[in-house]
Amino acid sequence: MARETMKVFCGNSVPQLAEKICKRLGISLGKATVDRFSDGEIRVKIEENIRGADVFIIQSTQSPAENLMELFLMLDAAKRASAARITAVIPYYGYARQDKKDEPRVPITAKLVADLLTQAGASRVLTLDLHAEQIQGFFDIPVDHLYATPLFAKFFGRRNLSAYIVVAPDAGSAKRSRGYAKRMGDLPMAIVDKRREMKDRPEALNLVGDVDGKVCLLLDDLISTGTTLIEAAGLLLKNGAKEVRVVATHGVFAADAVKKLAASPIQELVITDSLPVKDGLPAGKFHVLSIAELLSEAIRRINNGESVSSLFI
């Protein structure tokens, strides 16, 4: 028995994903107006009664910043409409890469966003593959942090994996990659050691592990410019790798990333629909897996007061 009536709304960042989630839940997407006033400011109005309801607002917070602002305003509107509980469902948590003060006079933006979400009215957060897991600790409300690993494991699990090796693109990704390798049948692992020399230009320097004759699965949480993955792929091929394939949850694809990746020696790139899928992704090289089933199941369990922990794998 559900705790309260479930209502699901979305902003303008991932409407197709929200529709898929609602279809799996067997409900209609809630009616809400999220558009602009004549001067360009964001206008939000929830068009149905949500008093006492268990409200879920689906919105990824990628660039532009209006996506984040839409979420703040929708949370505030739901709070002022007397919703019983408000869950911010954030498939892609933007600004997560600014998660520590690693230079003088810089903000910790991931923490600031967490505070603003709480202040705006979020009772809890449901998100997927945060760039840094410690971001969960930035919140003073419950955070359900899911992983796309089961989707990727299922996708590659149909293949003969005897020649495969999981590769972490940097030391910080080693824990995530180790969990993926274990789920895939205890595949061997390697790590690319990189040093960032310039902003947005990491340089792959060394390889820890043996990839000679192997099919390398480079596992990352997101693809932005693609530079890191292309350099890592070059390093792996230089060290005797047979093929390089990339698995990443969030396809940010900044600037001309798609063009660069399409022209790179990477054989295959697998992402999810946590962000809108860009037009022009080369067929055959890029594969998009939907996270709708994973998120809809988490939403259903949260609404029913059931455990979500079995999804944290």
Tens digits of residue pLDDT in 99-125: 999 899 999 999 999 999 999 999 999
The answer to whether residue 259 sits within a structural domain is: yes
Q: Please state the domain count of the chain.
A: 2
Residue 193, pLDDT above cutoff 90: no
Q: What does the block give as tokens for 69? A: 């602002």
Residue 201 is predicted with a pLDDT of 56
Based on the fold, state whether residues 167 and 266 are members of the same structural domain. Answer: yes
Residue 173 is predicted with a pLDDT of 85
Question: Which CATH number does the domain housing residue 252 bear?
Answer: 3.40.50.2020
Q: What is the CA radius of gyration of the chain?
A: 20
Q: Is the pTM of this model over 0.85?
A: yes
Q: What angle do CA 135, 118, 69 make, to 5 degrees?
A: 95
Residue 313 pLDDT class (50, 70, 90 cuts): low
Residue 1, pLDDT above cutoff 50: no
Range of the domain at 217: 149-289
Residue 203 is predicted with a pLDDT of 60
Based on the fold, state whether residues 72 and 193 are members of the same structural domain. Answer: no
Which of 38-52, 89-103, 167-181, 243-257 bottoms out in mean pLDDT, i.e. has the lowest? 167-181
Based on the fold, state whether residues 156 and 285 are members of the same structural domain. Answer: yes
The answer to whether residue 242 sits within a structural domain is: yes
Based on the fold, state whether residues 213 and 296 are members of the same structural domain. Answer: no
Residue 71, pLDDT above cutoff 80: yes
Residue 195 is predicted with a pLDDT of 67
Decide if 194 is catalytic.
Answer: yes
The answer to whether residue 179 sits within a structural domain is: yes
The answer to whether residue 205 sits within a structural domain is: yes
Q: What is the mean pLDDT of the chain?
A: 93
Based on the fold, state whether residues 274 and 244 are members of the same structural domain. Answer: yes
**Residues 166/192, Cβ–Cβ less than 8 Å:** no
Based on the fold, state whether residues 56 and 139 are members of the same structural domain. Answer: yes
The answer to whether residue 1 sits within a structural domain is: no
For a pLDDT cut of 70, what percent of the chain falls above it?
95
| Integer Cα distance of 16 and 3 in angstroms | 27
Residue 84, pLDDT above cutoff 50: yes
Which of 69-83, 109-123, 158-172, 293-307 bottoms out in mean pLDDT, i.e. has the lowest? 158-172
The sheet that has 215-223: what strands, in order across it? Answer: 201-208, 189-198, 164-168, 215-223, 243-251, 268-272, 286-289
Based on the fold, state whether residues 14 and 138 are members of the same structural domain. Answer: yes
The answer to whether residue 188 sits within a structural domain is: yes
Of 7, 20, 111, 194, the catalytic one is: 194
Residue 196, pLDDT above cutoff 80: no
Phi-psi region of 2 (alpha: psi -120 to 50; beta: other; left: phi over 0): beta
Based on the fold, state whether residues 256 and 270 are members of the same structural domain. Answer: yes
